[in-house]
Structure 1
Amino acid sequence: MTKSQILFKTATVNDFLLYIVNALPKLLQQVRHTHFTNFKRFVKIMFLLTIITLQKHRSVSRVCLSGTGPPVFKDKTNGEWIARPEMSTVEIKCVACGKPKPTIKWYKNKQYIDPGMKGGHYHIRKWKLSILNLEKMDEGQYTCVLENTQGILNFTFKIEVLQLTIMTKPIGLGPNNQTVQAGSDARFECKVLRNDLQHHTQWLQQYTVNGSYRDDENQPYVNIIQQSMVNLSHPEILTIKNVTKDNAGWYGCLISNPLGRYYQTAWLTVLDEQAEAVDIRSGGTNDKEQIVIYIIGGVASVVVLFLLLLIFICYRRYKRVQSSKYRNVKRVIVMTQNENYHPYKSYDGTQPFVLPTIRIEPGPRRRLSSDLTMMSEYDLPLDKHWEFRREQLSLGEPLGEGAFGKVFKAETVGLNKAPTTAIAVKMLKEDATDRELTDLMQEMEVMKLIGCHENIINFLGCCTQNGPLYVLVELAPHGNMRDYLRSRRPHNSAGYKKQDLEKGSFKPLTEKDLISYALPE
């Protein structure tokens, strides 16, 4: 046994009480008279003496009977109550025999402990259960259940996890310096932030001897003016009533326990009563300052109200402009030939060609219009097979213009797997009507049905989403047929104005050329 250990053989509760009565007062007295002058902080670990009372039970050491029988304990060395400190390891055993050989299962607080569970700190091996790195949550009742075909046997252990308490000297906060008027009350507060043992609080007032606050041994001259030994409800607060100039000086708070102390001082400044009179006489100046403050506050309030009103007006205008940008969206419906739309057949069993029908109806939703798109009030159907991305289309110079439509030259990227392709784009004017949109949509749907042919202007695609309607067709490099024929009239054409061929390299057509155009191939 070392100096820091006390060994009790077959300890009882009486041993614990006797130790408390005889040894503890001497130990506390020794600690109280110990000086810790060389340490800024002293920490002591108080060890806990635990007496574990074991319940008497019948002997568990038995000799296994021969033949068939229920489980019986063969060796069980643990008691019913086991106490261990945190982070330690505890092992409990339930060694039993019986025929046939019994199986064992472990339960914690009636919850089954799975022996195959990985990552836990429970380890089961044969008849033994080990718990590693004990924590407070491991406390509880552990039951072993042994079973064979002849019977069941169980035993319950109670495991308690002990915590070590670390105690320190007091830790406080305050007091702070105070400045008060003569005749008023001064109040100091000294808070205890941490104290693990019973502490004692004292308020001290320092005084001077020959102009010095300390003696030759550097100890302060103090008088005890308040302490917690007196029946006080708030010993951490010091109140000085009706202070005078004589009360000015240093005041200290001393908090102590057997492990150390906390001491902090604060200075009390007492102002003369004349200072209050000066403040009263200078009340006119203060009134002027208050008037200036009121004026500034009033002006600031008016400015704030004006700004709020201006913000409100701007917000109303913004909402009005935003609402004007919303239009009713018209939904465009395309009805093409199918079994539902054209169910009848002609006498020879074939369906006649029916033009697609375009119908415009007021849509149920609203959409924000854009100044860049004159067709934003229409909701056009999407045809994924013919839809072309607007980002890959670059509009160029205008090629022509009619009563309701325009044609522009454009270049596309990625059309028919070509890097760039020159095409023509048909579109409506800004003031186009629903009827004109219907005609252009119907023309586009007819071109879809006709398909591609080398002797016609073929349909290439369309742009119907996120902008105006664009119809993409092949580009005729020589313009339309009418202008082409007019620019190439024969020289002997009667009744027509002679064309000026010097401006271009066009070769005039002959009558033979015109007849060849009329003859079918």
Structure 2
Amino acid sequence: MLPLISLDSVWRFEPVITPNATHLVIPKGGQLQLSCYDNAEASKVQWMREKGRKIEGGLEEDGASIILLTSTQVQHMGRYTCENTQTKEKSSIYIYVKDLENPFVRSMLDGLLVREGEDGTLPCLVTDPAVNHLSLLTCGGSGLPAGLTYSAHPQKGITIKNVSRAFEGCYICAGEMDEKPVKSSPYNLGVRPGIAKQSKKSNILPGSREYQRSAGLHIKSVKMNDSGVYSCIARNEKGVSMATVNLEVCEHGFINLTEGEDKVVEVREGESLTLSVEMTSYPSPTEVYWIYNNQQLKNTSEHVITLHNQQYRYISELRLVRVHGSEGGIYTFSANHTYASVNQSFTVHVICKPVIVSQEGPVDGQVRCVASGYPVPKISWYYCEPPHTRYDPQANINEEFAVVRVSGAEFGRSEVDSRLNVSKGKFHTLECVATTQGEQAYTLFSISERTVPHKLFTPLLSGVMSTSVLLSLFLVVLLYKFMQKPKYEIHWKVIESFDGNNYTYIDPTQLPYDPKWEFPRERLRFGKILGSGAFGKVVAATAYGLCSADTVTTVAVKMLKPSAHSTEKEALMSELKVLSYIGNHINIVNLLGACTVGGPTLMITEYCCYGDLLNFLRRKRDAFFSSKTGDGYYKNLLSQTQTSR
């Protein structure tokens, strides 16, 4: 008799997944679509995640099961398994969700508790398979404990083999991506002692004179009178050993802050600051967050929020990275659960260097100087006898001057306005100095020597005034005639050739603006004014992250004053387009970036550390010499040659 063989047991095929790959890399926020089907008749397939979790919301189309995610996030990363519900055959695919900011998945749990003798896995999964050479490091940078062995897998994490009590501590996962080192968030490894089970009869273990015995105390329903000290006592013929534990029974849950008082903190602009709150809580808090300006802060690269816990003790930290002058204020920590809630506030003052915001004058015998900083800058006036030189520390002006606080911020920069009457002075240069906590900013005023007119009304003065009135009337008439004429407009003219020289003309208004030159204006920190004209000014500034993420570059920023007209705005934009079209050149001040969105147009150029060309040549005039070698003039030789032919 021949044996009967079921065809179903022979012709079994694994489900087919589309796309057909072992893994896929999807960018964060991208679309993910997976399809699974089985060629067997009357078969049905279903999708599952790790640990047999079924995926709800799948689509069914022509016998295939489809997963469609329009915006893939990090929590969607992992292994997706397609199973035939009848044959139990399976196929799987692993999905990486690439996060440019985090090469490792940021786990919500930073603590791992493993029993001694077992294996423990740190869930530091990579978001991009390009991360390689995975390794394990200690948080403090010291070597790994003796005897520690581990295995690393990009889809599973790092598994520590045969954990012992000596392995307790803080660890991080490290790797390389594009030949650059990358690290995960820290993990605290805790080790529980192993349990030795004992039978009813206690026997001495063979080959050893020691043995372990465990005993437990179970209280079914804890009451207030169960509070107290519990002791575990062990005796043998060699003596007695005892261990105690203190049990505290509370009527309800609690949250206690270690330092409950609000704090006042000062930090300099550009530095980083960490705000820390330590507390004990039972049960675990359901919400832990930070608030600033009535808004809950999110964990970003500028506001890094971490939470560490060990049993009932919690530490929450808020790290403010490279604090801006506008980030001062009240930061409030909040935590709560069903039984209690707590708040703790930090008042942060950002110390800002003084900056001369604007200067005017002399107008009507007065000069005006506006400075900003925190604390509020102190403005002092000094006069200097030599032109264009700074003050003598002993030459402080004794005349009264008015100081008005223009605008004030409780936690950041404040502006002060100071005015000085110079109609009675006889000096060449006047200096305004703003001082804040040892930091200074200054600006110079060029004041010509003035002569106080005689008080008597002389005939000569009468004649001068009469002439002035007539001239004023004449100027008014001319101005009226001028206003009646059509205003001039800026037009570009193409110059094809002149004396044999060829010129190339490009109309800047027709040039496109490349958005690659855009630079975030909030990363600029303005300094002193380098130069000023009728409608614009050039200010020294510090640019954060211009060349790369961690670089700090000194630049010059060209901007228009509020009084500028549309013609000046168009001229500045044309200059920006021309510089971006020319590109980098050794003989010009090169363009580094621009801010055209969200405010006035700012043109960022290279900073000329030696000042403007005119003053540089004046300072170096002694280094040059001139000698007459004959009449020198320019000739277009090409044009003369063609004429002679």
For normalisation by structure 2, the TM-score amounts to: 0.19
Bigger CA radius of gyration: 1
Normalized per residue, the structure richer in strand is 2
The higher relative CO (CA closer than 8 Å, separation ≥ 6) is in 1
